[in-house]
A and B are shown apart, each in its own frame.
Chain A
Amino acid sequence: MRYSAWTVFKQGLTGQRGWKPAWRLPDPRPAYDVIIIGGGGHGLATAYYLAKTYGVRRVAVLEKGWIGGGNSGRNTTAIRSNYYYRASAKMYDHSLRLYEGLSRELNYNVMFSQRGMISLAHSLHEVELAHRQAGAMRLNDIDAEFLSPAEIARRVPILDMSPGARFPVLGGVIQKRAGTARHDAVVWGYARAADGLGVDIIQNCEVTGFRRGPDGAVTGVDTSRGPIASKRIGVAVAGHSSRLAEMAGFRLPITSYALQAFVSEPLKPVLDTVVLSPATGVYMSQSDKGGLVIGGALDLYPSYAQRGNMLVIRNVLGAVAAQYPSLGRVRLLRQWAGIVDIVPDSSPIIGASPVPGLFLDCGWGTGGFKAIPVGGTMLAHQLATLSPHPLAEPFSLERFTTGALIDEAAGSGIAH
């Protein structure tokens, strides 16, 4: 069923009785051409592009819980491509461009709103770095502008711009094409589109082990719903990548941390852009429902517990109260944490693993949501052609042997 204004109108006249489930709930078949482990945005996007671009139709997405129940449903929905190195900038901007056409592509409104993102500069050093960042982005064909304090005050009136502010604002960089999208809609849109192309989305199906042939290559997986055979398996499980790697007998340069996010009670519109303060690592936007969506730094130690640490809550909300004094008495509605896969150079790992037939899409750390379309594109290319996507070549696991790291933590000054 194609969604359109006409469909909504027609259903309104016929008592809304004609809607169908957006995807099937199939039982697993004994074998597939490709299995994708992880029914988050990356896994479902991979399945969609495999079916659409490469014509691989016998594809299963295995999800241990429900689709979009992990980090795809726990992020702060920011989409941007303000990276420093050329490899990252090209890759993330490809993702941003795919987001720009995604609602039409999937026939599903992902509510992508290019409301811009401002990274603040609080000191003369940060002003210099901001100019450097804007210059690097423009060299990579990505829009970036330096904003004066007056311009920031005009765009973000709730920000404390007074001379005595705890975090004085001396300028900032804006990427106007950045923005937010509805995270569940991205997951559901890819799920519905993939399902429409024949992909089996199998929920409540946890992978418990890999089956290997005599040559060591994967031949299938054992799951809580029985064994499923496939010679090509993609892993897109974010913070749990190390556990899947352990099942397959290798280790990854990944440490799992909890990253928290917060939503306030709904407010009237007070903020129409995304604002990041590198000094505190805190970033904030306002959802269409009115809630302030707030993110901050990682919790302080490795964790698989999907709940947050009080100390970080205090630091993040203290920074919000200091920078936005008018929000000091706003109450929180929800707080939660997702488990993110942190890599030493803060760049993802895409492509072949040490096990033949097993391919990785992991290491996105705190920034996986914005990369869902490109992550799916790159892993689909890898699974279909058995060679890395041109955008993914610099992001292979081999870079930890060769030393060709892409150190975005230092390069773009990202928060984590």
Chain B
Amino acid sequence: MLQISCPWCGPRDEIEYRCGGQSHVIRPGPPEAIDDETWGRYLSEKINPRGEHLERWLHAAGCRRWFNVARDTATHRIRAVYHMVEQPPAIGEEEGAR
């Protein structure tokens, strides 16, 4: 089981969270200028990497706030937890990196 550090509540068990999938997905715009192909890609395409994945998590059974996690999909190691508006910290720059 994962232990995830919510930026507001601190470390809690995975059971309190919900994974919201790939983060940093930018909505294309303006809508009237977007063709079906671009829109379809925005809605459905995933990077789905084997390795580091930047993803959104919700602390569903806690503060109910969203945040970002940089997590390895092969080892499940969490490299960094950071706020929704931030970019992922560079490797080695994580706060309290373990």
**Chain A interface residues toward B at CB < 8 A:** 240, 242-243, 246, 251-256, 300-305, 309-311, 344, 400-403
Contacts and interface: CB of A to CB of B under 8 A. Distances in A.
B53 interface: yes
A2 B71 CA distance: 51
Given A311-B15, A401-B37, 16 more contacts: A242-B48, A242-B50, A253-B44, A254-B48, A255-B46, A256-B73, A301-B55, A302-B48, A303-B73, A309-B1, A311-B14, A344-B44, A400-B40, A401-B40, A402-B36, A402-B40
Interface in B71-89: 71, 73-76
Interface string B9-43: 00000110011011000000000000011001101
A257 to B, nearest CB: 10
B50 A304 contact: yes
Nearest to A306: B74
B45 interface: yes
B55 A310 contact: no
Nearest to A240: B50
B40 A251 contact: no
B71 to A, nearest CB: 7
Nearest to B44: A253
A301 B77 CA distance: 13
B51 to A, nearest CB: 8
Contacts of B47: 242, 251
Contacts of B76: 303, 305
A252 B36 contact: no
A251 B73 CA distance: 17
Interface residues of B, number: 27
B44 A301 contact: no
Given A300-B14, A301-B55, A302-B21, A251 B36 contact: no
Contact of B73 (A300, A302, A400): A302
A403 B74 CA distance: 32
Interface of B: 1-2, 14-15, 18-19, 21-22, 36-37, 40-41, 43-50, 53, 55, 71, 73-76
Instruction: Among B14, B46, B55, find the residue whose CB has the most chain A CB atoms closer than 10 A.
Output: B46
Contacts of A251: 41, 45-48
Instruction: Among B18, B22, B40, find the residue whose CB has the most chain A CB atoms closer than 10 A.
Output: B40
Contacts of A252: 45-46, 48
Contacts of A402: 36, 40
B46 to A, nearest CB: 5
A254 B22 CA distance: 11
Given A310-B1, A401-B36, A300 B19 contact: yes
Nearest to B14: A311
* Nearest 7 interchain pairs by C-beta: A253-B44, A242-B48, A301-B19, A401-B40, A400-B44, A251-B45, A304-B50
Nearest to A310: B1
Contact of B43 (A305, A309, A310, A400): A400
B74 A304 contact: yes
Contact of B21 (A255, A305, A309, A401): A255
Contacts of A255: 21-22, 46, 48
Given A252-B45, A255-B21, A255-B48, A302 B53 contact: yes
A300 B18 contact: yes
A244 to B, nearest CB: 11
